[in-house]
Amino acid sequence: MTNPITVGQLYPGKLSPVGVRQKTDATPATNANGSTFEDLLQSNLLRFSHHAEMRLQQRGIHLQPEQLSKLESAIDKAAAKGAKESLVVMSDMALIVNIQNRTVVTAMDNASMKDNIFTQIDSAIVLS
């Protein structure tokens, strides 16, 4: 044991002493399927289209945090069932949601829902 082993000899510049790869550039960390944390976060966020935002404002519809939580849960369940475009009916409003993009496309209040026909949807979700 006359020659002591140094860290540089064991891990020649590619691994740190604890065996974890050191980042050498500013690229974001990715998971096993190549998506970044930001991609994952963005794919799970509920979004509102510009049209939906305008309708919410015009019709005086205000979504409370618990309603948003129920809506997000409903979107998750609809996605698990393979839904693509869903009508989500809540107590005093209805929303058309693109499930794959997690985007509310339009919103209606009770008055706007009356005598209305909903087309181009493949599922309906009734929330209480």
pLDDT tens digits, the chain, 128 residues: what are they?
A: 555 544 444 444 444 444 444 445 555 566 666 667 565 555 578 999 999 999 999 999 999 999 999 999 999 999 999 999 999 999 899 999 999 999 999 999 999 888 889 999 999 999 98
Q: Is 17 inside a domain boundary?
A: no
Q: Is 40 inside a domain boundary?
A: no
Total tally of structural domains belonging to the chain? 1
- In the numeric block, which tokens belong to residue 122? 């493949």
Residues of the domain holding 85: 46-126
Q: Is 37 inside a domain boundary?
A: no
> Torsion angle of alpha carbons 80, 87, 75, 52, nearest 10°?
140
| Residue 53 to residues 8, 60, 116, Cα–Cα distance (Å) | 58, 11, 20
- Residue type present at position 89: V
Q: Is 108 inside a domain boundary?
A: yes
Distance between start and end Cα atoms, the chain: 75
